[in-house]
């Protein structure tokens, strides 16, 4: 038999649908498995008005269950002669088995009796009737609603339930709605009830009622329709998979409508036009083969061709109103100019007690130049200018007051700067300085953009730490973890070296003009950045012991730490490397974190001492040179040469000699060895992997 469960609702928000469907599918699958109900597959279907799962080949009954039920101790259940006592008889009777079927089991607490109980599977319809109400109401949504019963919450009010096992209805009630076999088609084109006789009728009967229940089918149709309509004007729709997904979840039966707008609006920046079409109206912008926007858009309606001209005119009218607003904002902002906008930032509070956004812009100017000088001195002035101007659009008509163009923050500021004649590198850095906005987002493409982005994030972190708005647990209202992760991603993925200690010191120095700092602020911020670096490295697939090993020795340069971690991760499976890790741990365990002065060759008397010192001195220059060149695999290879002299040293002398001078000298020699390894990482924090012979690291 097949089973269909459909939850019919008022229109769900687009972003709720797919997570809720996946949760429903997984919970139903888990529920059937827990209830010992075999099936072959589960297929999910969804539209704004329904969440449905079709389960194929469901068994008619639960599988029988055999289980052991532990009873009283054997000495209590049977007397000395092996005859069942009252306790034994009562236990057997309670489990519904003959007393002579009880078996004895040895446990840690002694010998106990147990009953082998066989539970016959119940009809699946009974099982489903029992589990479905709770399963349905357990689905989670970002926000829920109540309607009839204040105790019942769901993403939107539930209006009907279909629960069909073969040709029979599975009877139950959830949220005051009883289950049945009636579903409903398109709200306007087929509003009457549709009776289902079998679960396999579901998709096709809905199709005939102007509903495409298969989301993938709807998505492919949306793609096809919008490109077809754009092609009528010799254009193509801008690629926007996210918008395709949103629109797919807004409709039950997509039908495309091609609209147009006045060509004069093409004088507005491209991003303004696309945003006006996309953000609120969910229109698809159209461009020509050269990537120039055309005065057309494609929108989609929910089924039917009736009144298409009215639909087109209505959508064109709404878009014209938005574009009129955008043109007004654009022209007014241009008349004000970015220099006036910079002055207006004095009226915008950044953080309470931390000054204005104008003050922040001054810091960003200095800090951006400071950061970019680590990579290219010649770019300092452009980075300085971009840092100064990057926040000017916060007071623009286009962005301020939470208008629909707020997402253009940074982008529109760059447009205003370009109109004012600013250098192209400056405007690009302004445009990109909010990147990355979320995990997986693009990074700034220019060094100036990277510098301004890093400066902005570090200034934000420093300000919040100064005001003691520090993330704790899952609480991070100012997104400081996201800011720090962005810094690490830029440095690592753009292959940029930067000393965090220097730039943190500079950040706090610039901030100190507005905030009296506590002495521990630098350490607190440094510790926070190190934690985020550890997270980014782990998130990038580096094992935790390697992360700990590298950052314990060197966390000041994230890109360098990434290179070291990647190198050590590659060496971990090498047999010789695993052995040198063991040798270093022996060194580390003896030293116990203490420091000792290093002996000269003239102070050494034993051959193994002299040989170890000679080996360390020979390796030292090679290790330092390899590290300075970023050749961390070579540095590891040079450190491997120390294994034999270290082992010979331990075999040849007693380190903890009763003679204080000998003991101190030998500990000093081991301290020298430790320093050499710590140039790369703290090897004592590495776990030894099972060696794979033949791997050269």
CA 415 remoteness from chain centre: 31
191: three-class secondary structure by DSSP: coil
Would you say residue 688 has pLDDT above 80?
A: no
Task: Work out the average pLDDT over 22-35.
Answer: 96
pLDDT at 353 over 80: no
Q: What is the DSSP letter of 61?
A: B
Number of other residues whose CB lies within 10 A of the CB of residue 485: 20
- Indicate whether 235 pLDDT > 80: yes
Nearest to 338 by CA among 382, 380, 388: 388
What number of other Cβ atoms are within 10 A of residue 660's Cβ? Answer: 8
Which pLDDT value is given to residue 689? 57
622-674 pLDDT tens trace:
999 999 999 999 999 999 999 999 999 999 989 898 888 899 999 999 999 99
- Residues 563-582 have a mean pLDDT of 91
Q: How confident is the model at residue 80 (pLDDT cuts 50, 70, 90)?
A: confident
Distance of CA 366 to the CA centre of its chain: 32
Query: What's the pLDDT at 697?
Result: 28
Is residue 360 within 8 A of residue 333, CB to CB? The reply is: no
Q: Where are the domains of the chain?
A: 3-61+123-208, 65-119, 234-336, 348-540, 558-685
pLDDT at 523 over 50: yes
Residue 201: predicted pLDDT: 97
Q: Give strand ranges (E) for 176-279.
A: 177-180, 182-184, 193-195, 236-237, 254-260
Mean of pLDDT values over 459-472: 89
Mean pLDDT estimate for the chain = 93
Whether the Cβ atoms of residue 512 and residue 502 lie closer than 8 Å to each other: no
CATH 1.10.3210 fits 348-540, yes or no: yes
- Classify burial at 403, counting beta carbons within 10 Å of its beta carbon; exposed 0-12, middle 13-18, buried 19 or more: middle
pLDDT of 399? 92
**What does the pLDDT read at residue 346?**
94
SS3 state at 595: coil
Q: Residue 441 and residue 323: Cα distance in Å, rounded?
A: 28
Residue 521 has pLDDT above 60, yes or no: yes
How high is the pLDDT of residue 64? Answer: 87
Residue 697's closest CA among 542, 546, 564, 571?
571
Q: Name the residue among 322, 321, 316 with its Cα closest to residue 298.
A: 316
pLDDT score at 690: 46
Residues 121-180 pLDDT 10s: 899 999 999 999 999 999 999 999 999 888 899 999 999 999 999 999 999 999 999 999
- pLDDT of res. 691: 44
- Tokens 């005119």 identify what position? 313
Q: CATH fold of 558-685, please?
A: Isoleucyl-tRNA Synthetase; Domain 1 (1.10.730)
Q: What is the pLDDT of residues 241-295, one digit of tens each?
A: 999 999 999 999 999 999 999 999 999 999 999 999 998 899 999 999 999 999 9
């Amino acid at each position: 038999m097949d089973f269909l469960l459909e939850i019919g609702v008022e229109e769900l928000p687009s972003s709720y649908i797919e997570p809720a469907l996946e949760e429903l599918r997984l919970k139903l699958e888990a529920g059937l498995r827990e209830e010992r109900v075999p099936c072959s597959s589960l297929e999910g279907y969804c539209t704004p008005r329904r969440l449905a799962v079709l389960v194929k080949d469901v068994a008619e009954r639960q599988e029988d269950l055999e289980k052991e039920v532990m009873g009283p101790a054997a000495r209590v259940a049977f007397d000395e002669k092996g005859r069942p006592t009252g306790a034994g008889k009562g236990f057997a009777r309670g489990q519904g088995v003959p007393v002579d079927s009880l078996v004895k089991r040895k446990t840690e607490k002694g010998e106990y009796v147990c009953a082998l109980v066989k539970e016959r599977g119940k009809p699946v319809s009974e099982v489903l009737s029992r589990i479905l109400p709770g399963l349905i109401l357990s689905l989670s949504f970002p926000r829920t609603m109540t309607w009839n019963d204040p105790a019942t919450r769901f993403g939107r009010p539930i209006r009907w339930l279909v629960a069909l096992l073969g040709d029979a209805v599975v009877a139950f009630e959830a949220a005051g709605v009883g289950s049945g076999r009636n579903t409903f088609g398109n709200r306007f084109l087929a509003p009457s009830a549709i009776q289902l006789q079998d679960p396999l009728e579901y998709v096709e009967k809905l199709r005939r009622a102007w509903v495409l229940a298969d989301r993938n089918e709807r998505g492919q149709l949306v793609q096809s329709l919008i490109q077809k309509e754009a092609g009528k004007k010799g254009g193509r729709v801008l690629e926007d998979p996210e918008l395709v997904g949103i629109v797919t979840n807004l409709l039950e039966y997509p039908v495309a409508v091609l609209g147009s707008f006045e060509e004069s609006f093409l004088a507005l920046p491209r991003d303004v036009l696309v945003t006006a079409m996309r953000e609120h109206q969910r229109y698809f912008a159209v461009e020509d083969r050269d990537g120039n926007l055309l005065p057309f858009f494609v929108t989609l309606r929910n089924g039917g061709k009736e009144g298409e001209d009215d639909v087109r005119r209505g959508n064109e009218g709404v878009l014209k109103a938005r574009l009129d607003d955008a043109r007004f904002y654009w022209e007014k902002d241009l008349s004000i100019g970015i220099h006036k906008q910079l002055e207006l930032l004095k009226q915008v509070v950044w953080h309470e007690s931390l000054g204005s956004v104008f003050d922040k812009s001054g810091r960003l100017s200095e800090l951006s130049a400071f950061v970019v000088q680590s990579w290219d001195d010649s770019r300092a002035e452009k980075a300085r200018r971009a840092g100064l101007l990057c926040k000017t659009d916060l007071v623009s008509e286009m962005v301020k007051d939470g208008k629909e163009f707020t997402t253009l923050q940074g982008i529109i500021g760059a447009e205003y700067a370009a109109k004012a004649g600013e250098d192209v590198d400056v405007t690009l850095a302004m445009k990109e300085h909010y990147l990355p906005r979320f995990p997986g987002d693009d990074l700034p493409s220019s060094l100036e953009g990277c510098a301004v982005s890093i400066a902005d994030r570090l200034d934000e972190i420093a300000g919040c730490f100064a005001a003691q708005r520090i993330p704790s647990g899952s609480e991070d209202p100012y997104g400081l973890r996201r800011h720090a992760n962005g810094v690490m991603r830029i440095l690592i993925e753009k292959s940029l070296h930067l000393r965090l200690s220097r730039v943190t010191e500079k950040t706090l120095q610039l901030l100190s003009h507005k905030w009296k700092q506590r002495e521990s602020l630098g350490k607190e911020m440094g510790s926070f950045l190190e934690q985020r670096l550890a997270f980014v490295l782990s998130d990038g697939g580096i094992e935790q012991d390697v992360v700990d090993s590298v950052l314990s020795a060197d966390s000041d340069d994230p890109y360098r730490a990434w290179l070291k971690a990647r190198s050590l991760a590659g060496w971990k499976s090498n047999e010789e490397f695993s052995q040198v890790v063991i040798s270093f741990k022996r060194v580390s365990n003896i030293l116990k974190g203490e420091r000792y002065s290093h002996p000269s060759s003239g102070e050494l008397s034993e051959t193994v001492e002299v040989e170890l010192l000679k080996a360390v001195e020979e390796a030292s220059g090679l290790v330092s040179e390899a590290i300075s060149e970023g050749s961390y695999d070579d540095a590891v290879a040079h450190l491997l040469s120390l294994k034999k002299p270290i082992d010979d040293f331990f075999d040849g002398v007693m380190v903890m000699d009763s003679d204080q001078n000998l003991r101190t000298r030998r500990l000093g020699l081991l301290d020298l060895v430790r320093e050499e390894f710590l140039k790369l990482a703290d090897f004592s924090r590495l776990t030894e992997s099972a060696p794979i012979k033949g791997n050269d690291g």
